[in-house]
Amino acid sequence: MGKRVYNGMPARQLGSEGWRKPWSGGNGGSCVEAMRLADGRVALRQSTDPDGPALIYAHHAMAGFIRGVKAGEADFLLVQESAGPAPRPPRPAHSAHPAQSTC
């Protein structure tokens, strides 16, 4: 990749090969797609908008994010707002190969 890769660039400029859907669910086809770049950085894009912007993260930033998610630090994103403080949702059991659904 001889061109400049930057945060917010059109994802199509990164090519169509190499995008994977590591996170998916029963969300009507709206998935996050990820691509590992040649320099070790990670690009993310929205599957329903493959020509939209790519978010580019340094390897260490993505590694820290994944560790935090595994440790439950992002569980607050799954709690729906209510009148009072919401209880922390139970942590799912981790498996080596989580079930993936198609987008």
Residue 82 has pLDDT above 70, yes or no: no
**2 band by pLDDT with thresholds 50, 70 and 90:** low
**43 band by pLDDT with thresholds 50, 70 and 90:** very high
Lowest-confidence region among 27-31, 35-39, 86-90, 93-97: 93-97
**Residue 12, both tokens:** 């199509």
Q: How far apart are CA 65 and CA 59, in angstroms?
A: 10
Residue 84 has pLDDT above 60, yes or no: no
Kindly write down the DSSP assignment for every residue of 22-50, as one continuous string: EE--SSTT--EEEEE-TTS-EEEEETT-T
Residue 32 has pLDDT above 50, yes or no: yes
Residue 85 has pLDDT above 70, yes or no: no
User: Tell me, what's the pLDDT at 36?
Assistant: 96
Between 50 and 98, whose confidence is greater?
50
Mean pLDDT of the chain: 81
